Amino acid sequence: MTTKVSIALLSLLASAATLQAQTQVKGRVVNSDREAIAGITIRHGEQAATSNEEGYYEIFVASPGKFTLSFTGVGYTRKKLTFHPKGEHTRLQEVIIAGSGYHIDQIEVFG
Protein backbone atom coordinates (compact mmCIF):
# COMPACT_ATOMS: atom_id res chain seq x y z
CA MET A 1 0.00 0.00 0.00
CA THR A 2 2.79 2.41 0.95
CA THR A 3 4.59 1.63 -2.31
CA LYS A 4 1.47 2.45 -4.35
CA VAL A 5 1.03 5.75 -2.53
CA SER A 6 4.71 6.61 -3.06
CA ILE A 7 4.48 5.84 -6.78
CA ALA A 8 1.31 7.93 -7.09
CA LEU A 9 2.99 10.88 -5.33
CA LEU A 10 6.08 10.61 -7.53
CA SER A 11 3.88 10.58 -10.64
CA LEU A 12 2.01 13.65 -9.42
CA LEU A 13 5.25 15.52 -8.68
CA ALA A 14 6.68 14.59 -12.08
CA SER A 15 3.60 15.88 -13.89
CA ALA A 16 3.64 19.10 -11.84
CA ALA A 17 7.29 19.65 -12.76
CA THR A 18 6.43 19.18 -16.43
CA LEU A 19 3.63 21.74 -16.20
CA GLN A 20 5.94 24.29 -14.56
CA ALA A 21 8.52 23.91 -17.34
CA GLN A 22 5.89 24.61 -20.00
CA THR A 23 5.75 28.00 -21.69
CA GLN A 24 2.96 29.45 -23.82
CA VAL A 25 4.47 30.89 -27.00
CA LYS A 26 2.55 33.48 -29.02
CA GLY A 27 3.61 35.20 -32.20
CA ARG A 28 2.70 36.28 -35.70
CA VAL A 29 3.77 35.08 -39.15
CA VAL A 30 4.09 37.62 -41.98
CA ASN A 31 5.54 37.84 -45.48
CA SER A 32 8.25 40.25 -46.61
CA ASP A 33 5.60 42.99 -47.06
CA ARG A 34 4.55 42.47 -43.40
CA GLU A 35 1.20 41.01 -44.52
CA ALA A 36 -0.28 38.26 -42.35
CA ILE A 37 0.06 34.67 -43.56
CA ALA A 38 -2.71 32.24 -42.64
CA GLY A 39 -2.26 28.47 -42.64
CA ILE A 40 1.40 28.29 -41.65
CA THR A 41 2.15 25.25 -39.49
CA ILE A 42 4.32 25.93 -36.44
CA ARG A 43 5.91 22.85 -34.85
CA HIS A 44 7.93 21.97 -31.81
CA GLY A 45 8.41 18.22 -31.55
CA GLU A 46 4.95 16.64 -31.46
CA GLN A 47 3.25 19.98 -30.68
CA ALA A 48 1.79 21.88 -33.63
CA ALA A 49 -0.26 25.01 -34.24
CA THR A 50 -1.53 26.83 -37.33
CA SER A 51 -1.49 30.58 -37.91
CA ASN A 52 -4.93 32.17 -38.18
CA GLU A 53 -6.19 34.63 -40.81
CA GLU A 54 -4.32 37.46 -39.10
CA GLY A 55 -1.11 35.42 -38.93
CA TYR A 56 -1.26 34.85 -35.16
CA TYR A 57 -0.49 31.52 -33.53
CA GLU A 58 -0.17 30.04 -30.05
CA ILE A 59 1.76 26.90 -29.15
CA PHE A 60 2.78 25.32 -25.86
CA VAL A 61 6.42 24.30 -25.46
CA ALA A 62 7.18 21.86 -22.65
CA SER A 63 10.97 21.81 -22.82
CA PRO A 64 12.98 23.98 -20.44
CA GLY A 65 15.74 26.16 -21.87
CA LYS A 66 16.01 27.18 -25.49
CA PHE A 67 13.65 25.65 -28.04
CA THR A 68 13.37 25.54 -31.83
CA LEU A 69 10.19 26.22 -33.79
CA SER A 70 9.72 25.11 -37.39
CA PHE A 71 7.50 27.20 -39.70
CA THR A 72 6.15 25.53 -42.86
CA GLY A 73 3.41 26.24 -45.37
CA VAL A 74 2.46 25.59 -48.98
CA GLY A 75 4.13 28.18 -51.19
CA TYR A 76 6.59 29.31 -48.49
CA THR A 77 10.13 28.30 -47.60
CA ARG A 78 10.63 26.30 -44.39
CA LYS A 79 12.12 28.33 -41.55
CA LYS A 80 13.56 27.10 -38.24
CA LEU A 81 14.28 29.53 -35.43
CA THR A 82 15.65 29.00 -31.92
CA PHE A 83 14.31 31.01 -28.98
CA HIS A 84 14.81 31.30 -25.22
CA PRO A 85 11.62 31.13 -23.14
CA LYS A 86 10.66 34.06 -20.92
CA GLY A 87 8.78 32.37 -18.09
CA GLU A 88 5.31 30.93 -18.53
CA HIS A 89 4.44 33.28 -21.42
CA THR A 90 6.78 34.04 -24.32
CA ARG A 91 5.79 36.64 -26.91
CA LEU A 92 7.89 36.45 -30.08
CA GLN A 93 8.60 39.12 -32.64
CA GLU A 94 7.03 38.76 -36.06
CA VAL A 95 8.48 35.88 -38.05
CA ILE A 96 9.00 36.79 -41.69
CA ILE A 97 8.64 33.90 -44.13
CA ALA A 98 9.64 34.21 -47.79
CA GLY A 99 7.65 32.78 -50.66
CA SER A 100 9.13 29.67 -52.24
CA GLY A 101 8.89 31.01 -55.77
CA TYR A 102 6.67 28.16 -56.93
CA HIS A 103 3.43 29.13 -58.63
CA ILE A 104 0.50 26.84 -59.33
CA ASP A 105 -1.11 27.63 -62.66
CA GLN A 106 -3.71 24.90 -62.70
CA ILE A 107 -5.20 22.30 -60.42
CA GLU A 108 -6.94 19.19 -61.70
CA VAL A 109 -9.27 17.21 -59.47
CA PHE A 110 -10.04 13.63 -60.38
CA GLY A 111 -12.76 11.67 -58.72
The H-or-E segment that residue 107 falls in is none
CA 75 to chain centroid, in Å, comes to: 19
- Kindly state the helix (H) or strand (E) to which residue 92 belongs, with its residue range: none
Q: Is the pTM of this model over 0.75?
A: no
Tens of pLDDT, residues 68-89: 999 999 889 999 999 888 788 8
Sign of the CA dihedral with 59 first, then 65, 71, and 48 last: negative
Q: Give how far the C-alpha of residue 63 lies from the chain's centroid of Cα atoms, to the nearest Å.
A: 12
Q: What is the pLDDT of residue 84?
A: 87
pLDDT digits (tens, 9 = 90+) for 29-72: 999 999 999 999 999 999 999 999 999 999 999 867 889 999 99
